[in-house]
Structure 1
Amino acid sequence: MTLPTRRQRPMPERGRSWGRDAMSEFDDLFNRMGTLLESTVGGGFARGTAWAPLTDLTELDDAYVVECELPGMARQDIDIELDERELTISGEYAEQERKGTLHRGTRRTGRFEYRTMLPGQVDAERVTATLREGLLTVRVPKAAGTGTRHIEVTDGS
């Protein structure tokens, strides 16, 4: 009686980017896409344009809450604008002066901008923004009367 033999599959080779920082991969891809788009359609994604910080948008019963990660930013260096339903958060990270040689830099610098269209009508007069431990929280209250409303159907008489 013979037993089946078990064949071993070869281990897949690791790509040339093994050990490379994932963010540098994305930056490289973004730069390539920007170059391609700029050469075909022109403008828009040119190098040096603003980048968007990591942000969450949550809808509550009475407000929209935007939480934006801005570590190391001072509150006076952040600009927040609300134009009807479009919220814009912008600012700029200045490159730090360093002594010595920088061997690896992965922190983003330069102009940042986050834009979003809020899903419903808002009360622009009651918007609040707080910056605590690098987390910017913008609370945009919903306009009065914009909640879900039950409409009764009548028989038409």
Structure 2
Amino acid sequence: MSLMKRNPTQELSFWNREFPSFRGLQSLQNDMNRIFDDYFRGDNLVNDSFFSRDWNPAVDIVENNDNYILKAELPGMNKDDVKITLENNLLTIRGEKKNEYAKKEGSYHRVERSYGSFERTFTIPGSIKSNDIDAQYNNGILTLTLPKAEEAKPKMIDVKVK
């Protein structure tokens, strides 16, 4: 016994032959399937506000004994396109990756790169020496080093046994 792969297009051919108006519905279903498949796969060519996704850069935050270190992926951006603020232990990174497709230079066959404004806010769990924060931008990676204030650093306490 051999298994046959299901072919939904072939199954619908009867309906297309017998009911010509069904072709319009089938075409609509194919278009909707393509839009949703492309959207969830990241192949979004539709740029209106309903279908466009917000762009949020990927961020890693690591804590060691002396610092909180945040790394954000910001490919294709300039350091002047990014603003960083720290207020009441809330670190906010905001910026805008410019849409180079707005220039309409030719017809695009595929658009996968994201663009637009973003804002990410993170709660820093301890006190920070705000005057000593270091920000570096290199090869599309923003690295923030936030030194912990003395009261935020872990302290060793010797327990005396009597």
Match of 2:57 among 20, 34, 53: 53
Cα distance in 1, alignment partners of residues 41 and 130 from structure 2: 36
How big is the shift at 1:65?
A: 0.6
- Are the aligned partners of 1:86 and 1:116 in contact in 2 as well (CA < 8 Å)? yes
User: 1:115 maps to what in 2?
Assistant: 121
Cα distance in 2, alignment partners of residues 55 and 144 from structure 1: 26
Gaps of 5+ in 2: 8-32, 44-49
The structure with the larger Rg is: 2
Match of 1:89 among 81, 88, 93: 93
User: 1:35 maps to what in 2?
Assistant: none
- The one-letter code matched in structure 2 to 1:71 is P
- Are the aligned partners of 2:81 and 2:96 in contact in 1 as well (CA < 8 Å)? yes
How big is the shift at 1:102?
A: 1.3
Q: Tell me the matched-pair count.
A: 127
- Are the aligned partners of 1:127 and 1:141 in contact in 2 as well (CA < 8 Å)? yes
Cα distance in 2, alignment partners of residues 118 and 149 from structure 1: 19
Q: Does 1:65 align with 2:80?
A: no
Q: TM-score, normalised by structure 1?
A: 0.66
Share of identical aligned residues, percent? Answer: 32
- The one-letter code matched in structure 2 to 1:53 is P
Cα distance in 1, alignment partners of residues 82 and 109 from structure 2: 29
Gaps of 5+ in 1: 1-6, 29-45
Cα distance in 2, alignment partners of residues 12 and 140 from structure 1: 57
Q: TM-score, normalised by structure 2?
A: 0.65
Say which is worse superposed, 124-133 or 141-150, in terms of deviation.
141-150
Q: Deviations over 1:31-74 (max 9, x none)?
A: xxxxxxxxxxxxxxx88785320111011110001000111111
User: 1:43 maps to what in 2?
Assistant: none
The answer to which structure has the higher helix fraction is 2
